[in-house]
Amino acid sequence: MKLSAYRFAWTVFGILTYILDIGADIWVAFQYFDKGHYSWFALTLVFVFIATLTIQIFSLSWFNDDPLESSDTRRCSPGQITVVHLFQMGIFIRYKDVLRKGFKAVYRSSQDVCDLFNIIADLSMLRLFETFLESTPQLILQIFIILEHKERLSIQYVTILTSFLTIAWATVDYQRCLRRSLKMKEIVFGLPTVVYLLYKLFTITSRILSIVLLTIVNVYFTLALVAVVWLFGTIWAFRQQTDFCKSKYLEMYYRAVVGVILVFTFFNIKGKNTQVPMAVYYILYVLQTAGILILFWCVKPSPTEVFLIVTITITVTIILGLICLVLYYLYLHPIKHVPNVADEIDGLEAGPTREQLSRISRFLQQ
């Protein structure tokens, strides 16, 4: 196993997207403050704060759980690492480890890459948290402000673009890390990756735009819908008895975060056969979207041309997203190319000699 220059460049790109995404959101927040839109200012920063706080909590927990030699950063004292995380900089010391070890692995032919891939996998999971706790809600907020209040700032479009870029990057990067952790690193076809990315982007886009339309109708309807979907997602995570964290209380927090992720897209949260739950999820997903569109057009009898375009976009993206979903799981899912691998990701029972699962193997599955 070795780290290619392409994979190293992909990781560097991930650092840039993270900095750009957070920076754009903070910039647009202070633009709102300068114009007197204090509620928008507060909401924009709240999404950033919740996401970064969650990232620091899990990152610090993993530093405490991992062996001392697993990271160059462990040469620091636990107190120093804690202080760095209190200042919301934990993800950057992980990126520092990746850049240092990655450069040695690519350009100095270092053979010590096992720890490096573990650090990359940890970063991929943290970025997935950031995607659904910060980037996705920011998209909803910024698109709502543009459509409903006609408040258009150049930085808003930068924020929207970087949020979509973050979703795309996090989705593909996580898929690649998950394949490697399940020993499928030789199965990296371009088509499965593209179809999986389109499935996620299309379904998430239709979800975001439908929530925006519902918010335009009534913000309390949106809060009620999100709360109900989050509650059912969290309950399902508890019923699955996930075992991602060593701490009981952190595991409860993890399940609540999973509930937030399930508001926007479906993941297999325990590595078991989830054909029925996935089918139920997307049936309800389609019904919710259809209900929102009907409600919007009944309440807003004379919407502008922009809302017609949004409605068409929602309809098209949900159809294309479901087509890509079916194509991916019927024909392109990587487990189909490895028939001798018994892994719980698709409901196969693992044998008694199965290796101890890595952290990412206990995380969200495809």
Rounded CA separation 255/270 (Å) = 11
Rounded CA separation 280/46 (Å) = 32
SS3 144: helix
pLDDT under 70 in the chain at which residues? 1-2, 67-75, 109-113, 181-189, 271-272, 301-303, 334-357, 366
**What is the model's pLDDT at position 253?**
95
**What is the model's pLDDT at position 152?**
77
Using CA of residue 182, residue 185, residue 186, residue 189, what is the dihedral sign?
positive
- pTM of the predicted model, to two decimals? 0.87
Query: Tokens 């924020």 — which residue?
Result: 159
Provide the β-strand partners of residue 365. Answer: 268
**What is the model's pLDDT at position 284?**
95
Kindly list the distances between the CA atom of residue 104 and the CA atoms of 9, 38, 304, 311, in Å, as whole numbers in the listed order. Answer: 13, 47, 56, 50
Tokens of 82: 């804690």
**What is the model's pLDDT at position 75?**
60
User: What residue type is assigned to position 126 of the chain?
Assistant: L
Rounded CA separation 215/212 (Å) = 5
Is residue 153 within 8 Å of residue 28, measured between CB atoms?
Answer: yes
